[in-house]
Structure 1
Amino acid sequence: MGKKLPPEELELYKAIDEILWRDWDPIGVNEMPEARDEYQSYLPHIFRLAVEGKDAKHISSSLVATIEGNIGLGASKEHCHRVASKIVSAKNEIIG
């Protein structure tokens, strides 16, 4: 994140960070506090998709691609869609 975000976008950024950590957690490390930054490199892209108004299907596809392409694991499309839906809901609640 190179620029300062408006307050609502900063709130959304933090909410998505928490969703990725708590709910997405494709490698199962969210019970280890020392790994708290594990998914933060993926956060700016997912945040941008949400701010741009992408739907849960689009965000879910990106989450699946990240797991399979970057992390190198198999992905549950259903799980990623549930996580993406939470991200879209957070965006709608915080920014509208």
Structure 2
Amino acid sequence: MTPDLQRVEQAHWEDWDPIGVRAMGGPSDEYDSYAPTILRMLLAGATEEELVVHLYAIETEQMGLGGGQRPYGAARALLRLAPQRGDG
């Protein structure tokens, strides 16, 4: 596992956690299966809105949750992890 992937997994755990597993003392790898796609999105230069849409879709379509504000904070946290892009 790469350090970048570990950071994305950690951000999911700390900043997203849509089903509240962390608060219940659940397994910290609960959301790890979503990290590779998010990392690819970050490396491709995804915007905050693209990340929000993706996380919201996971919450509502895959997890069956009602959605909410979590994807916004998580997207901002994930963007802080994105590699800095040079001017060319």
TM-score range relative to shorter protein? 0.7 to 0.9
**Identity of matched residues, %:** 28
Aligned length: 83
Q: What are the equivalent positions in structure 2 for 1:9-24 lying under 5 Å apart?
A: 10-24=2-16
Instruction: Kindly report the root-mean-square deviation, in angstroms, between the aligned alpha carbons of the 2 structures.
Output: 1.4
Whether 2:40 is the aligned partner of 1:41: answer no
Q: Which residue of 2 aligns with 1:79?
A: 70
Q: SS in structure 2 opposite 1:68?
A: helix
Please give the TM-score of this superposition, normalised by the length of structure 1: 0.79
Please give the TM-score of this superposition, normalised by the length of structure 2: 0.85
Structure having the higher helix fraction is 1
- Contact 2:9–2:29 (CA<8 Å) still a contact in 1? no
In structure 1, stretches of 5+ residues that fail to align are 5-9
- Structure 1 segments, 4+ long, off by >3 Å, are none
